[in-house]
Amino acid sequence: MKTLSAVLGMTAVAAISLCSLPAGAQTYPERTITMVVPFSAGGPTDTVARLVAESMSKDLGQQIVVENVGGAGGTLGAGRVAQADPDGYTILLHHIGMATSATLYRKLAYDTLGAFEYVGLVTDVPMTIVARKDLEATDLKGLVEYVKANKDTVTVANAGIGAASHLCGMMFMSAIETPLTTVPYKGTGPAMTDLLGGQVDIMCDQTTNTTKQIQGGTIKAYAVTSPERLAVLPDVPTAVEGGLDGFQVGIWHGVYAPKGTPTEVTERLSKSLQAALQDQNVVARFAELGTVPSPADDATPAALKAKLEGEIARWKPVIEAAGQYAD
């Protein structure tokens, strides 16, 4: 059964790439592909990867297995892929950390812009500005006023340097031009626990982690950082609506391949990614996490390249202003 689908998959690949191509690319993929996720199993990025990988496997006719190479803010896994054979059998799914680690780490084992080929964007997970449930402010304006009035006592939680919540927290403080006391945690779990328990005041984190808590009324949501309101949280205004001009942050995910991977292969992967992003199962699961798959024209090599370059430039000054590096 597996062989049959593999044969079918390969025929499909061959049919798509009709014209004369190098021999390797014509039959790609002919064996299992490893998708490296630079974070540990069970986390939000791992979940995104597994959902996408499963659907892409169907389209490619070959299994994509997820390998978790966690550590050092995702730079170990990215470094692994940078050094892998550029044959399309080792690919990387990484999030915004790909762009921020270029500044957060002053000595990286790879050149962020020079070591990879691009496959496409996967999704852009919005962030939410949330606070402990007994905080008195009722809307974002009120929150900003409250924070400014109590800037010596308000605490902002984050899940460690380089984490989504750390980035968004920095962005928030720079947007309201008020430096606050940050309280780092080891991962989102303990940070959220302390927010639920009212031990810390504010956090800005991915919808993946906050949606269910907001719906359950255990924390208060002030804004989402996406351009539009979210279907899962219709009552929460966007940050721009709430008065923070230009405050849009998203944890975007992209798929990369090592530098030198043939264009035919990255094109094939990109096509398969686009198909996966329209898979009903993927769409539904993403929706439960409070996010949507990237549109087809973003799931392309060119769009990912542009995004990465833009984001490196955008975060560099923010991180340098905060003056905290991860090495």
Partner 1 sequence: MELFSNLALGFATAASPENLLFCLIGVLLGTLIGVLPGIGATATIAMLLPITFQLEPVSSLIMLAGIYYGAQYGGSTTAILINMPGESSSAVTAIDGYQMARKGRAGAALSIAALGSFFAGTVSTFLVALFAIPLTAIALKFGAAEYFSLMIVGLVSSVALAHGSVVKALAMVALGLLLGLVGTDIYTGTPRFTLGIREYADGLNFVAVAVGVFGIAEILRNLEGEKTRSVLVHKVSGLWPTREDFRRMAAPVLRGTAIGSALGILPGGGAILAAFASYTVEKRVSDKPEEFGHGAIAGVAGPESANNAGAQTSFIPLLTLGIPANPVMALMVGAMIIQGIVPGPNVASEQPALFWGIIASMWIGNLMLVVLNLPLIGLWVKLLTIPYYVLFPIIMAFCSIGVYSVNSNVYDLYAVAFFGFAGYLLVKLRCEPAPLLLGFVLGPLLEENLRRAMILSRGDPTTFITRPISATLLLIALAVLVVVFLPSVRAKREEVFQEED
Partner 2 sequence: MKSLAFDSTNAICGAVFVILGGFFTYQSLTLDLGTALRMGPGYFPLLLALILVVLGLVVLVQSTRVAGEPLGPIALRGMAFILPAPVFFGLTVRGLGFVPALFFTALIAAFASSRMKPTMALMLAAAITLFSVVVFSYALGLPFQRFGPWVRF
> Is residue 65 close enough to count as binding partner 2 by CB under 8 A?
yes
State the Cα–Cα distance between residues 49 and 94, nearest whole angstrom.
9
Residue among 169 and 242 whose Cβ is closer to partner 1: 169
The CB density around residue 186, as the number of other CB atoms within 10 Å, is 10
Beta strand segments in 113-264, E = 116-132, 155-158, 181-184, 202-206, 219-224, 250-258
CB of 221 within 8 A of CB of 132?
no
Q: Which does 292 bind (CB under 5 to 8 A by kind): partner 2, partner 1, none?
A: none
Residues 217-276 that bind partner 1 (CB under 8 A): 217-218
Residues 22-51 that bind partner 2 (CB under 8 A): 34
Number of H helices, E strands in the chain: 12, 9
Own/partner pairs for 197-201, CB < 8 Å, 24+ apart? 198/132, 198/133, 198/134, 200/132, 200/155, 200/156, 200/157, 201/131, 201/132, 201/135, 201/154, 201/155, 201/156
DSSP helix/strand/coil, 120: strand
Residues binding partner 1: number (CB under 8 A): 61
User: Minimal distance in Å, beta carbon 62 to partner 2?
Assistant: 13
Residue among 85 and 288 whose Cβ is closer to partner 1: 288
User: Minimal distance in Å, beta carbon 63 to partner 2?
Assistant: 8
Residue among 70 and 142 whose Cβ is closer to partner 1: 70
User: Minimal distance in Å, beta carbon 157 to partner 2?
Assistant: 18
Residues 68-87 that bind partner 1 (CB under 8 A): 68-73, 75-76, 80
Output the six-digit token pair for 97.
């950390």
- For partner 1, the binding residues (CB under 8 A) are 40-44, 46-47, 50-51, 54, 66-73, 75-76, 80, 104, 109, 152-153, 155, 160-162, 181, 183-187, 189-190, 192-194, 196-200, 208, 211-213, 215-218, 284-285, 288-289, 324-327
